[in-house]
Structure 1
Amino acid sequence: MPFNDLSLTLLLVTLALAGLTILVCGIRMTGLADRIADRTGLGEALIGGVLLGAATSLSGSVVSVTAALDGRASLAFSNGVGGIAAQTAFLALADILHRRANLEHAAAELANVFQGALLVLLLTIPIIAYAGPDVAIFGVHPGSFVLLLVYGVGVVASKRVREDPMWRPVGTSMTEKDSPDEDESDNRGNIRLFVVFGVLMLIMGVAGWVVAKVANELTDRYDLSASLVGALMTAIVTSLPELVTTLAAVRRGALQLAVGGIIGGNTFDTLFLTFSDVSFRDGSIYHALERPDFFWLATGLAMTSVLLLGLIVRQRAGPGGIGFESMGILGIYLMAIGVQAFAM
């Protein structure tokens, strides 16, 4: 599709249709992920953090890879880290929806706490790569390999934390348990379940490519900041599945799936940087960035830290029925948007 031949109206319509496609697929995948968690016995937190998190992040990863292949380092980077900030803010919105208690209190699960700490670690690696020497192995910075290694080790460790925890959250009357909705021994239709899940992932990937091409055209045509477009347009559009799946999971009572899906999706989103670095052929992508590109990484890191504190403190309720972490997360995100708007 010759995107440069499209009018502004058609570009925005194309962007909206791609976003709607991502949205519909994300809604369908939530129910499938919940059933997979029940049938495999792996639990909502782990399935939400790994399978659902990675699947709903596919469109975003396609955006970053496409931007990197086009030599747009800032757009590729800001799309990944901007998505982390946006998706963390979505979790605060889900807390507002869950009126019975603070979501982080009700969804007590050690695997989510572990993945939150893992995410903080992963977000520090790009900073180290940026501040360190400009080195590359076949055009890829060693930090990108470290990101992939730490993520893989973290996934294995998350499973061990769930199966043999050394710490357990204190149960209260407001704590929601992760209990299967169906008979785990019923394996009929499992293949079809995974096939449908895979097809939805493929469709989301194509939609992500369309979003990237529209973003490239808008950036060039109107001389927009690539960091701003990546963090506040492509990141939010491709993060719509996380918003819908999180709200849908809360409505279904699958609270561990809701929290795990956001944290796991954010953890997987750090791999956007590895994918982007491999796709960026002008050397290390970290040293093609400028200082302002790290604004949204720092924002996501601050929001994740507040979320992790909330998961540990487990405040039962706060102002408006939400915890201090949700107020802090929304406050940081809105402040960051205000700073970016002022910088324009």
Structure 2
Amino acid sequence: MPDLATFSSPVLLALFAVAALVIAVLGSRMAGIADTLADRTGWGEALIGSILLGAGTSISGIVASISSAADGAPELSVANAYGGIAAQTMFLALADIAYRKVNLEHAAASAVNLGQAITLIILTSLPILAVTVPPFAIMGVNPLSPVLVLVYLIGLHNAHSIKREPMWLPRQTDATRDEEDDEENDPHSTRFLAFVFLALVGVVGICGWAVGQAGIELSERYDLSQGVVGALLTAVITSLPELVTTVAAVRKGALQLAVGGIIGGNMFDALFIAASDVAYRDGSIYHAISERSLFWIALVVLMMAILLMGLLKRERQGPGGIGWESLLVLALWIAGAGLQAWMG
């Protein structure tokens, strides 16, 4: 890999722009493939959104976090992870604005998404507990990191169980969109689509590495806080696939895929800190971060709790044609981003 420290600042900024464009364009194609695979496999949009689309579109973010941690930038690594989760949750509010018929959370009713939202809150709360206890690591890895992976796998298993044998079903209204409402008409074989999806994941991952490395270099050159760069720059750029795929899924009418892709992607993103803990060789990464990163972790818990309430209440119409939860989530992210930028 090239040494980005040898690049001039204009070249680094151009690299940021090109990486963002590639991530956005390929992300749109990934959404279409994921929707088709959801129909063909029978797994359902919510589950496919969380596993395939969520993890696939998150590859740029996890590469950015791991590479930053390995290079001794834990603050940027963790801020990139949770800043990305916050930004992606906010993207659902933007998707709600794009879906003008009713509140998105009303139309995209899914018990699977409810279960995954709860799992995400658990995954996000655990690192806060790790920060408050004395530092402890085995071979440089905090014991919480493998626990996070275990909780994630249990969450996926529960989501599959909810999909297979649901004990709770959302009330159907004239505005509720079922997965059966979508038509699948891609002429390519399932194997070919899976291969294309993996190839796109690889390219997006390379772009994620470039974004993470460029972020470290720019924070040093311009004396910027790694937390600000991670949460407001690299996090937003590496989250572009989620924005593009969510809006694309909403326009296709794959509403459960849109919501499931964000929540499932956020579940996967919550593992960034575990992977970064392994890559960070100076001890437990949970004890190498500042209150700025804790702010984003706590903000994510608050935003997800509000989103979960919206998914449960299923308000049909709110202010400006969107749900109250979308309005609150959007306001929280803007306020949080503004506060962190003002703090420098």
Q: Amino acid of the residue matched to residue 312 of structure 1?
A: L
1:182 matched to 2:175? The reply is: no
Quote the residue 1:70 is aligned against: 71
Unaligned runs of 5+ in 1: none
1:53 CA displacement: 0.1
Quote the residue 2:125 is aligned against: 124
Measured in 2, the distance between the counterparts of 1:55 and 1:137 equals: 30
Quote the residue 1:338 is aligned against: 338
Quote the residue 1:208 is aligned against: 208
- Output the TM-score relative to the length of structure 2: 0.97
1:3 CA displacement: 1.8
Quote the residue 1:278 is aligned against: 278
1:182 CA displacement: 3.2
Write out aligned runs for 1:1-344 (5 A). Answer: 1-179=2-180, 181-182=183-184, 189-344=189-344
- Output the TM-score relative to the length of structure 1: 0.97
Say if 1:148 and 1:271, in contact at 8 Å, map to a contact too.
yes
Change over 3 Å in CA distance of 1:187–1:155 after alignment to 2: farther
1:289 CA displacement: 1.3
Q: Amino acid of the residue matched to residue 184 of structure 2?
A: E
Percent of paired sites with the same residue: 51
SS at match of 1:138: coil
Measured in 1, the distance between the counterparts of 2:120 and 2:3 equals: 38
Change over 3 Å in CA distance of 1:206–1:132 after alignment to 2: same
1:147 CA displacement: 0.4
1:10 CA displacement: 1.2
1:191 CA displacement: 1.3
Q: Amino acid of the residue matched to residue 97 of structure 1?
A: A
Say if 1:59 and 1:205, in contact at 8 Å, map to a contact too.
yes
Q: Amino acid of the residue matched to residue 239 of structure 1?
A: S
1:5 CA displacement: 2.5
1:163 CA displacement: 1.1
Unaligned runs of 5+ in 2: none
SS at match of 2:333: helix
Say if 1:39 and 1:187, in contact at 8 Å, map to a contact too.
no
1:181 CA displacement: 2.1
1:228 CA displacement: 0.5
Equivalent residues, number: 342
Q: Amino acid of the residue matched to residue 116 of structure 2?
A: Q
Q: Amino acid of the residue matched to residue 238 of structure 1?
A: T
Change over 3 Å in CA distance of 1:189–1:130 after alignment to 2: same
CA RMSD of aligned residues (A): 1.3
Change over 3 Å in CA distance of 1:47–1:22 after alignment to 2: same
SS at match of 2:179: coil
Q: Amino acid of the residue matched to residue 148 of structure 2?
A: L
SS at match of 2:140: coil
Q: Amino acid of the residue matched to residue 217 of structure 2?
A: E
Say if 1:140 and 1:277, in contact at 8 Å, map to a contact too.
yes
SS at match of 1:153: helix
Q: Amino acid of the residue matched to residue 246 of structure 1?
A: T
SS at match of 1:28: helix
Measured in 2, the distance between the counterparts of 1:107 and 1:84 equals: 20
